[in-house]
Amino acid sequence: MWINKNEIKRLSAEVRKIIDGQPLDIRTHREGAWAILRNDIHTLANIKNEQMEALKREHDNMCDTLANISHQLKTPLTSMMIMADLLENAPPDKHAEFLTNIKVGLARMEWLAAAILKMAGLDAGAVAFASSPMASGDLIALAAEPLHILLEINNQTIQSNGDITLSCDKRWTAEALTNVIKNAAEHSPAGGVISIQCGNNPLCQWISVTDSGTGIPKAQIGRLFKRFEGTRGGKGHGIGLSLALAIVRGQNGDIEVDGGGNGTGATFTLKFFK
């Protein structure tokens, strides 16, 4: 097949424009090897553009994530630095208060750093969930253990009803439940009760956590699981619920939210589908 030299020059010029990022459709409805070549180059250019867009989105997401992490770490760090400066000249009766505030800040930073590392592992697909039978009571006890001090400080109690056997990854599911209970504690008043119910139906096994707060407006529910955004009333870091959702979904499950209100707290239900 004979190809006109001008056709080759025109195709070469079009390819250079595509390389420079100009949107250009070089397809043709004609038949023959030359038409196939033009169409294949167009397909290749589209694949290149899609990859570039994906890389740009990934870069933007990474920048946003790093900015959010920096902000989340800077807040408690600044607070602790101020406390440390005040501690030097503070009267003796204030030392215990400032030291307690510094310890709380360090604990928040430690938790945030651990949560970010766990989320990074989930995002990278580096977590392999190992499912095994576990009694819900044992799971609740394991999940509540890291929150003992928080609950004691707030004089809050956990009441649980129902007992089922879950098929789940013990360590990761306890991590998810810990974050949901922590969220309930942060939005319950001092002396409040956190209610945990368990159940089983033909579709799934479930564990629900209800706080004793004032509920969540419907407009806020959609943002609860957005990373670094889903906080209520400025409490928390906006990563705990996101981490919990990623863990549950990684085990063929989901988290359902009932906002409550009118004297009823919000309910988060972890569902593990059969």
> Per-residue pLDDT tens for 217-227?
888 888 888 87
Interval 81-98 mean pLDDT: 83
Interval 84-95 mean pLDDT: 83
pLDDT value at 108 more than 80: no
Query: Domains of the chain: which residue ranges?
Result: 1-126, 132-273
Highest mean pLDDT among 12-21, 124-133, 191-200: 191-200
For residues 216 and 241, the answer to whether their CB atoms sit within 8 Å is no
At 253 the pLDDT is: 95
Question: Considering the entire predicted model, what is its pTM?
Answer: 0.67
pLDDT value at 174 more than 90: yes
Considering only the top CATH level, what class is 1-126? mainly alpha
Read off the tokens for 77.
């760090």
Interval 123-136 mean pLDDT: 88
Alpha carbon separation from 245 to 226, 252, 257 (Å, rounded): 10, 11, 11
Q: Let me know the angle formed at the C-alpha of 115 by 85 and 65, rounded to the nearest 5 degrees.
A: 85
Indicate if 132-273 has the same CATH topology as 1-126. Answer: no
The correct answer on CATH 3.30.565.10 for the domain covering 132-273 is yes
